Amino acid sequence: MPAFPHIPVQRRSSRSARTGVVDVVVIGGGVVGAAAAWQLAGRDRDVVLLDQLETGRVRGVPYGSAEIYRQTYSSARYVRLAAEALPLWREVEAQTGAALLQITGGVDHGDPRGTRVLAESLAKHGIAHEWLDPDEASARWPGMVFSGPVLYQPDRTGRIHAGQAVAALTAAAVAHGAVVKRSTPATAIAVRGDDLVEVATPRGPVRARRAVVAVGARTAELLDGLVELPRLRVTQEQPTNFPLWGGAGSFPARQVAWPTFVHHVAPEDGWPGSVHGTATAEGCVKLGFRGVGPEMHPDRPSFAPDPAQLRRLQEYVAAFLPGLDHRVPQPLGCTRTSTPDERFVLDTAGPLVVGAGFSSHGFAFAPALGRVLADLSTGAMDRAPAAAAR
């Protein structure tokens, strides 16, 4: 994971050195946990961030690959949260010097019942968009074939470099004084009072006035009996990189111009689910069926490719993405933690603050989610109505 040595680290006397109790312990070193630590440390809170993995290792999201950023949602609350995240991503870039978010433009096509609602939402929020017919869209993006009218959003859609993003948020948190403890998983949480939480780890307990829990697939296990949660379904998903036809050097202009895309498929189309995709910085396009993987145990992920799903992805690429070489897929394993209605869980229970159930599309919102969790931790808000609903 890259370092950012030019960032001046803020040094301040730690209140926990006197009391043994930090203001906030953030459990989970993924993108949302790192964002919460950044927001909290920037508010002069004494923060410890616990990451169960070592530097440069990840579980859940295939960091290093691209994640989609978009404001094309039917929910007004999601649009507002995504809009808030954009300047926050730019703030992280300014603080760290990292290039995280590239605007590429984005297209939605397929089932008109889905795309029409999205267009109405864009219009309501004053977000630029236009309709293209399929032939016009294919002429603009020669590597793609489209189904039905194409909704194009030019300036608020793009890709985030996932590995750089987590590293940059963590570095920015450290620069504000946060302490990161790697290879330190939380094994249990005990609530000792209204303002005291004790987190057990293999390296000894961490005591804090508040605990932010952002552990993805492990949320239900770690908070069992402590917080009332909706059912969190953990599935094994299989996004896959496909190289440009003929290699990354064949069509450099087209590689840069590839938009992010969502193909909204109808049941009668015969595909397992809608397809989401984006070009990567490594010269491939990453895509996958959304939310179709088998349920799995959080502690026993298997990132082995599913031959049936991989074959269907190859068939999809051959049919709709002729600019990619469907013969040489590069599968990426990841987990998806989702709620029954795919609403985010952003809530409190005493001194515990929970962020979970981001349903594979929470990455783009991460800086804004960190803001919400920081607000909940510091009493700036009691609940998160602006973020909790679709």
Q: Are residues 239 and 317 in the same domain?
A: yes
Reduced to 3 states (helix: H, G, I; strand: E, B; else coil), residue 161 is: strand
Residue 59 has pLDDT above 50, yes or no: no
Q: Are residues 172 and 311 in the same domain?
A: no
Residues whose CB is less than 8 angstroms from the CB of residue 301 and which lie 6 or more positions away in sequence, other chains included: 59, 217, 236, 333, 335
CATH number at residue 150: 3.30.9.10
Q: Are residues 246 and 227 in the same domain?
A: no
Read off the pLDDT of each residue in 90-114 and give the average, rounded to a whole number.
97
Give exposure, 254-274, as e/b (b: 16+ Cβ within 10 Å): bbeebbbbbbbbeeeeebbeb
294-338 confidence digits (pLDDT tens) = 888 777 666 677 888 899 999 999 999 999 999 999 998 788 899
Question: pLDDT band at residue 388, thresholds of 50, 70 and 90?
Answer: very low
* Alpha-helical segments (H) within the chain: 16-19, 31-42, 76-96, 112-124, 134-140, 162-175, 219-222, 252-257, 307-320, 366-378
Query: What pLDDT score was predicted for residue 296?
Result: 83
In a domain, 85, yes or no: no
Query: What pLDDT score was predicted for residue 19?
Result: 79
Reduced to 3 states (helix: H, G, I; strand: E, B; else coil), residue 89 is: helix
Question: pLDDT band at residue 380, thresholds of 50, 70 and 90?
Answer: confident
Residues whose CB is less than 8 angstroms from the CB of residue 379 and which lie 6 or more positions away in sequence, other chains included: none
Residues whose CB is less than 8 angstroms from the CB of residue 77 and which lie 6 or more positions away in sequence, other chains included: 385, 386, 387, 388, 389, 390
In a domain, 206, yes or no: yes
Query: What pLDDT score was predicted for residue 301?
Result: 62
In a domain, 69, yes or no: no
323: left (phi over 0), alpha (psi -120 to 50) or beta: alpha
Query: What pLDDT score was predicted for residue 256?
Result: 43
Q: Are residues 249 and 322 in the same domain?
A: yes
In a domain, 307, yes or no: yes
Query: What pLDDT score was predicted for residue 16?
Result: 64
Q: Determine the Cα–Cα distance for residues 293 and 96; give it in Å rounded to an integer.
A: 36
Query: What pLDDT score was predicted for residue 236?
Result: 86
Q: Are residues 351 and 301 in the same domain?
A: no
Q: Compute the 3-state secondary structure of the chain and give helix, strand, coil in percent, each to the nearest 5.
A: 30, 25, 45
Beta-strand pair 260-264/106-110: parallel
337 or 388, which is more confident: 337
In a domain, 71, yes or no: no
pTM, entire model = 0.92
In a domain, 91, yes or no: no
Question: pLDDT band at residue 69, thresholds of 50, 70 and 90?
Answer: very high
Structure-token pair, residue 311: 């074959």
Structure-token pair, residue 82: 């995504």
Residue 118 has pLDDT above 70, yes or no: yes
Indicate the DSSP class of residue 15: T
Q: Are residues 222 and 132 in the same domain?
A: no
Query: What pLDDT score was predicted for residue 257?
Result: 77
CATH number at residue 169: 3.50.50.60
Q: Are residues 246 and 293 in the same domain?
A: yes
Query: What pLDDT score was predicted for residue 270?
Result: 94
Query: What pLDDT score was predicted for residue 237?
Result: 87
Angle formed by the axes of helices 162-175 and 366-378, to 10°? 30
Read off the pLDDT of each residue in 144-168 and give the average, rounded to a whole number.
96
In a domain, 75, yes or no: no
Q: Are residues 251 and 353 in the same domain?
A: no
Query: What pLDDT score was predicted for residue 389?
Result: 41
Compute CA distances 63 → 126, 307, 320, 363, whole Å: 33, 23, 26, 11
Query: What pLDDT score was predicted for residue 339?
Result: 93
Encoded amino acid at 81, one letter: L
Average pLDDT, the chain: 89
Q: Determine the Cα–Cα distance for residues 358 and 356; give it in Å rounded to an integer.
A: 6
Q: Are residues 211 and 252 in the same domain?
A: no
Question: pLDDT band at residue 283, thresholds of 50, 70 and 90?
Answer: confident
Residue 250 has pLDDT above 80, yes or no: no
Q: Are residues 125 and 174 in the same domain?
A: no
Share of the chain above pLDDT 70, in %: 86
In a domain, 92, yes or no: no
Q: Are residues 174 and 203 in the same domain?
A: yes
Read off the pLDDT of each residue in 234-259 and give the average, rounded to a whole number.
73
Q: Are residues 328 and 204 in the same domain?
A: no
The residue written with tokens 């605990």 in the block is: 211
Read off the pLDDT of each residue in 242-267 and give the average, rounded to a whole number.
74
Q: Which domain holds residue 330?
A: 106-155+233-338
Query: What pLDDT score was predicted for residue 251?
Result: 45
Q: Determine the Cα–Cα distance for residues 386 and 388; give it in Å rounded to an integer.
A: 6
Read off the pLDDT of each residue in 37-57 and give the average, rounded to a whole number.
88
Q: Determine the Cα–Cα distance for residues 182 and 285; give it in Å rounded to an integer.
A: 31
Domain count across the chain: 2
